[in-house]
Amino acid sequence: ETGVTQTPRHLVMGMTNKKSLKCEQHLGHNAMYWYKQSAKKPLELMFVYSLEERVENNSVPSRFSPECPNSSHLFLHLHTLQPEDSALYLCASSKTDRDPGELFFGEGSRLTVL
Amino acid sequence: AQSVTQPDIHITVSEGASLELRCNYSYGATPYLFWYVQSPGQGLQLLLKYFSGDTLVQGIKGFEAEFKRSQSSFNLRKPSVHWSDAAEYFCAIKLTFGQGTILTVHP
């Protein structure tokens, strides 16, 4: 099994749809992250979870709603998105969130909002 | 707050030529520094990291990087580039990433 798995790999949704992105890590890590990758911009850290508790939320609009039911799974619920939300959403994990060391990334979910 | 700057958005080199990708950082203490590589349609993969000790660190795929505290830099180097090195490269401090440098390799 790969370390960090993201589904779906591609998602097209309308502005009124509700969808979810899923991330699963098989590395026994305690911290998980959502990043947004847009063209010509640095990776934007969206959310940080440590031991299933959210420890950081970098001013992300409420139309993005994360959920971490256990240390192996992380979701990003999407609702009423805007076209500018189209991007590659990357999930990552690390052993801890304090001095996290190396991040292990999934392959990303490519989101297109029409 | 920490920040990372990669001055070069796009670099083109010939196969077999040497490579240096620049990274400058701003951080108050000794930083944890990383270089990641991203191939098209893929996530990021760690190339190498610096936490402490020897300032010249070796990574995978023949890459190395040198930490220079006086210059706040952590430049990535490779003596001879292969066509398969074409990708986007990211420098990072902890959870903060630079803008990335796209590397194109000409045959």
Ranges of chain B with pLDDT below 70: none
Q: Which of B83, B79, B103 is nearest to B91 (CA)?
A: B103
Q: Collect all residues of chain B within an 8 Å Cβ-Cβ radius of residue A4.
A: 43
Its sign, for the CA torsion A64, A65, A70, A71, is positive
Q: Distance (Å) from the C-alpha of residue A36 to the closest C-alpha of chain B?
A: 11
Distance, CA of A42 to CA of A62 (rounded, Å): 21
Q: What's the confidence (pLDDT) of residue A1?
A: 53
Distance, CA of A109 to CA of A91 (rounded, Å): 9
Q: Collect all residues of chain A within an 8 Å Cβ-Cβ radius of residue B45.
A: 105
Ranges of chain A with pLDDT below 70: 1-2
Q: Distance (Å) from the C-alpha of residue B10 to the closest C-alpha of chain A?
A: 11
Q: What's the confidence (pLDDT) of residue A2?
A: 67
Residue with tokens 């630079």: B98
Q: Collect all residues of chain B within an 8 Å Cβ-Cβ radius of residue A102.
A: 34, 46, 49
Q: What's the confidence (pLDDT) of residue A56?
A: 78
Residues 6+ apart with CB under 8 A from A111: A11, A12, A13, A21, A78, A81, A85, A86, A87, A88, A89
* C-beta of residue B105 within 8 angstroms of C-beta of residue B82: yes
DSSP-derived secondary structure letter, A61 = -
Q: What's the confidence (pLDDT) of residue B53?
A: 87
CA Rg value for chain A: 13
Q: What do you get for the CA distance between the two ends of chain A, in Å?
A: 33
Distance, CA of B62 to CA of A37 (rounded, Å): 27
Q: What do you get for the CA distance between the two ends of chain B, in Å?
A: 41
